[in-house]
Amino acid sequence: MSALNHFLVITSSKDITHWVQTTLHDEGEVLQVDSDNLERVLQLVDAVQARAVLCELGSSRLSQDAGFMEGLTAAKPLLPVIALAETPDRQSVLTALRAGARDFISPDMRPGEVVSLVRRAVSREGSEQQRAGAGNEGQMTAVASARPGGDATMFALHLALALREAQPKHDILLLDLGVPAGDSLQYLGIEPSYTFVDAIRSLRRLDDTLINTAFPKHDSGLRILAMPEDALDAGRITSADLYVLVNVLKRHFHQIVVNLGGVPASEFLYVLLGRADRTLMFVEQSVPSCKQNRNLLQKLRDNKVDKVGAGQVSLIVDRYLSSVPPDAETIAKGFGIPLLSTLPSSGMARLTMMNSGESLFTSAPRDPYTVAVRKIAQELQREPGTPVRAVPQTTGWLASLSNRLKAG
């Protein structure tokens, strides 16, 4: 193995750390993490691209350590997790294996045994990742806005519907976590039989069967998981819960659109945006909207949320009037991010949709708003990681006629 390999050892014991570092000296760099905070460990795993994580299992905190390993293996199913203990017994070994550990080591083992075991675990991990394929994990697009309201929800909903329309053979999910809660379900007349909070509670048994039977489904085939209106338990959701849930959902859905419109700057927001493959900042053509959303974007940068400032964040300007300043390009320059598209007001079409229980693809399929969302969805289906390109702007029939007359 190369010295470029990194291993994490989760322990507060300097003796354990020294033993692991000495044993794996020729295999790579061993980093000690003296905290079992799952969020921090996952961040480090991603940051250093750890090849394996070694977790100490203490007899006095067996249940807590096992719970941590369960969360780690659920969040990173292909990452080798190896349990270690100074004085292992049958109970601790069984507990570790049930929690998802690949193997078990202890300081009384010969160094050569430990090295061989770690090499086998890392080799299996590489084979499983190759079989799984890098493209098998679904892509997640986040819609973020500092201001609560129904516009971000309407856009996220129709973006998800457009992706479903364009990819009917794939499973598409809308995570509606915006403020107000659950608007997407109300727009479509769907009962919230199973919510985002329910999914958090069901993490350990979240599989195809549960998703297919419990997640609310639109006639188009789109699955919708929304925050409940009475989200009293939402404050108890931990960062670890979010990491695990998003990873599970990414394995089940080809595309995920998450609506975060109106969600304030918080760890909840940072974790979800950090797991998104791209973020669409959703703003209106007004000074208050631009100011509040610039402040939000700055908070994301200050908190080093992944991909912010790395070409994976772009701008959507809603209710746009080209004849009224500031224009969309000026707004994008002020944010320091590329402009993806603008959306027309289409007030009549939007109001009809909200009160009819039908999407705009049914009630107003040729409306400029509907056409614009389809074009955005088409752009987002390009190769993951490819910088987004500005979508050609859609104009109404009157503007198109005027342009032709001017050209003539």
- The predicted pLDDT at position 58 comes to 83
- Strand ranges for 158-264 from DSSP E: 172-176, 223-226, 255-261
Nearest to 37 by CA among 45, 25, 28, 47: 45
Let me know: does 176 contact 183? Beta carbons within 8 Å.
yes
What span, in angstroms and rounded, lies between the C-alpha atoms of 305 and 316? 19
**pLDDT tens-place string over residues 128-178:** 554 444 446 799 999 999 999 999 999 999 999 999 999 999 999 999 999
- The predicted pLDDT at position 405 comes to 42
What span, in angstroms and rounded, lies between the C-alpha atoms of 281 and 285? 13
Indicate the Cα dihedral angle 249, 250, 256, 257, nearest 10°.
80
Cα angle 268, 271, 273 (rounded to 5 degrees) comes to 105
pLDDT confidence tier of residue 44, bands split at 50, 70 and 90: confident
Question: What number of H helices and E strands is found in the chain?
Answer: 17, 12
Structural domains of the chain ordered from first start: 6-132 (3.40.50.2300), 136-396 (3.40.50.300)
Lowest mean pLDDT among 7-11, 29-33, 60-64, 85-89: 85-89
**pLDDT tens-place string over residues 236-285:** 787 777 877 888 899 899 999 999 999 999 989 998 998 899 999 999 99
- The predicted pLDDT at position 311 comes to 63
Q: At what angle do helices 90-98 and 62-75 cross, to 10 degrees?
A: 30
Question: Residue 29 belongs to what H/E stretch?
Answer: strand 29-33
pLDDT exceeds cutoff 90 at 121: no
Question: Residue 192 belongs to what H/E stretch?
Answer: none
- The predicted pLDDT at position 39 comes to 84
pLDDT exceeds cutoff 90 at 94: no
**DSSP type of residue 204:** G
Q: How much is the average pLDDT of 11-40? A: 89
- The predicted pLDDT at position 404 comes to 45
pLDDT exceeds cutoff 90 at 387: no
The strand pairing partners of 142, in sequence order, are 258, 279
In this predicted model, which residue has the larger pLDDT, 283 or 89? 283
pLDDT confidence tier of residue 209, bands split at 50, 70 and 90: confident
Let me know: does 158 contact 361? Beta carbons within 8 Å.
yes
pLDDT exceeds cutoff 60 at 398: no
pLDDT exceeds cutoff 60 at 402: no
